[in-house]
């Protein structure tokens, strides 16, 4: 397996890195304090095509490979993890669900505006009492003529307040259990009966918009079902594999940024008459940090490459997500330690990286959930 990036990969990576350095990183701390993204940066991302990175050109997308797309995502994550996850959920979960499993009618109706950034997507799977245990979903979809009536509440919805389109999983046949009993729907935000809650107050990735979304007798045309009735579990699992690869690269971006800050600080900070970079204790920390990041990148690129080849990446995406998210938390912790007391202060970026890192082991499936996936796949082999 060749992980050498193509000229197109490198060009997009350089473009994203330039954008991140000039427009995103200088504003990331401000956006974190404001707990949101300004419309101007969303418009700029839309103009550059970042809302349609994985979509076919016929819908206005860039039609990038998973590898190329994630090269850009890592650069954005290194500058602002919240902005990156906003784009990741929109591209790899919402757009991908409609593009891969939706009817031609759904694709033609919704994907052009989603690719243009006119309609931002939000992925509604988790509920207040149903996280890893998807069999506990309570949101219902009851058939009524040519429509379905949706009732229920979704929790921790990324892009909840920005979204113009909700990808919603709901129970259509309680008797069939999780694997055949729920389905997936594309529901525009202007559909009557949808209530978007207040923005959640989070520890990190504060620039991403996270909310509770409720559905009360929301009437949705049967034509807005994504895939067949009862295929919701299959769709959720496949789409989450995409998201997990994305979070692996997000983790690498945060970790890499923290390592760069730690190296820079260690060269400037002097103790006992010399830069702390001269002490073996600091040198060994940096060596371990860099080695783990490189190892994680190989796992992430393997998963992305295999997805582009059409392989089943359930195990590989979970391995990448597990290792990279754990590496991210390890690296930012060491970066704060290297900064000492200053690492605990908001004036230094590592404080934000430390807060942003924590959720990488939680969303898109906890580390414990990844272990469940990996072990189940191993036992099937």
- b/e 346-361 (16+ beta carbons within 10 angstroms → b): eebbbbbbbbbbbbbb
- b/e 223-236 (16+ beta carbons within 10 angstroms → b): ebbbbebebbbebb
What stretch of H or E contains 182? Answer: strand 182-188
CA distances in angstroms from 47 to 51, 104, 118, 132, 223, listed in the order given: 9, 25, 10, 36, 30
Q: Is 63 left (phi over 0), alpha (psi -120 to 50) or beta?
A: left
Catalytic residue, chosen from 200, 229, 334, 364, is: 364
Strands 182-188 and 274-275, sheet pairing: unpaired
Is the Cβ–Cβ distance between 249 and 300 less than 8 Å?
yes
Task: Please indicate whether residue 58 is annotated as part of the active site.
Answer: no
What is the 8-class DSSP label of residue 203? S
Contacts of 184 (CB under 8 A, 6+ apart): 97, 101, 167, 168, 169, 225, 226, 227, 231, 232, 235, 236
Residue 86, judged by CB atoms within 10 A of its CB (0-12, 13-18, 19+), counts as: buried
Contacts of 258 (CB under 8 A, 6+ apart): 289, 331, 332, 335, 349, 350, 353, 354, 357
SS3 for 141?
strand
Is the Cβ–Cβ distance between 184 and 134 less than 8 Å?
no
Which residues are known to be catalytic? 364
């Amino acid at each position: 397996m060749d992980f050498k990036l193509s000229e197109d990969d490198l060009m997009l990576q350089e473009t994203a890195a330039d954008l991140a350095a000039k427009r995103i990183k200088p504003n990331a701390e401000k956006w974190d304090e404001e707990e949101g993204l300004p419309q101007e940066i969303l418009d700029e991302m839309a103009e550059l095509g970042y809302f349609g990175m994985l979509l076919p050109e016929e819908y206005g997308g860039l039609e990038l490979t998973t590898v190329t797309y994630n090269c850009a995502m890592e650069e954005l994550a290194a500058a602002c993890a919240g902005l990156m996850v906003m784009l990741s959920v929109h591209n790899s979960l919402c757009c991908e669900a409609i593009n891969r499993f939706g009817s031609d009618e759904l694709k033609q109706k919704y994907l052009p505006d989603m690719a243009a950034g006119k309609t931002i997507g939000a992925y509604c799977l988790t509920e207040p009492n149903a996280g890893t245990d998807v069999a506990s979903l309570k949101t219902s979809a009851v058939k009524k003529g040519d429509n379905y009536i949706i009732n229920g509440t979704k929790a921790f919805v990324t892009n909840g307040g920005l979204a113009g389109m909700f990808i919603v999983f709901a129970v259509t046949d309680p008797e069939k259990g999780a694997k055949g009993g729920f389905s997936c729907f594309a529901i525009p935000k202007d559909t009557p009966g949808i209530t978007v809650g207040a923005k959640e107050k989070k520890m990190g990735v504060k620039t991403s918009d996270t909310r509770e979304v409720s559905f009360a007798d929301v009437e949705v045309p049967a034509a807005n079902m994504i895939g067949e009735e009862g295929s919701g579990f299959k769709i959720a699992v496949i789409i989450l594999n995409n998201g997990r690869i994305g979070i692996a690269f997000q983790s690498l971006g945060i970790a890499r940024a923290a390592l760069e800050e730690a190296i820079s600080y260690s060269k400037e900070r002097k103790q006992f008459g010399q830069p702390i970079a001269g002490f073996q204790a600091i040198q060994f920390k940096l060596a371990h940090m860099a080695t783990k990041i490189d190892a994680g990148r190989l796992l992430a690129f393997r998963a992305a490459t295999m997805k582009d080849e059409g392989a089943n990446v359930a195990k590989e995406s979970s391995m990448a997500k597990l290792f990279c998210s754990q590496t991210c938390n390890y690296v930012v912790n060491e970066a704060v330690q290297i900064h000492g007391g200053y690492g605990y202060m908001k004036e230094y970026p590592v404080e934000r990286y430390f807060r942003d890192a924590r959720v990488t082991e939680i969303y898109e499936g906890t580390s414990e959930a990844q272990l469940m996936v990996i072990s189940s796949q191993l036992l099937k082999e």
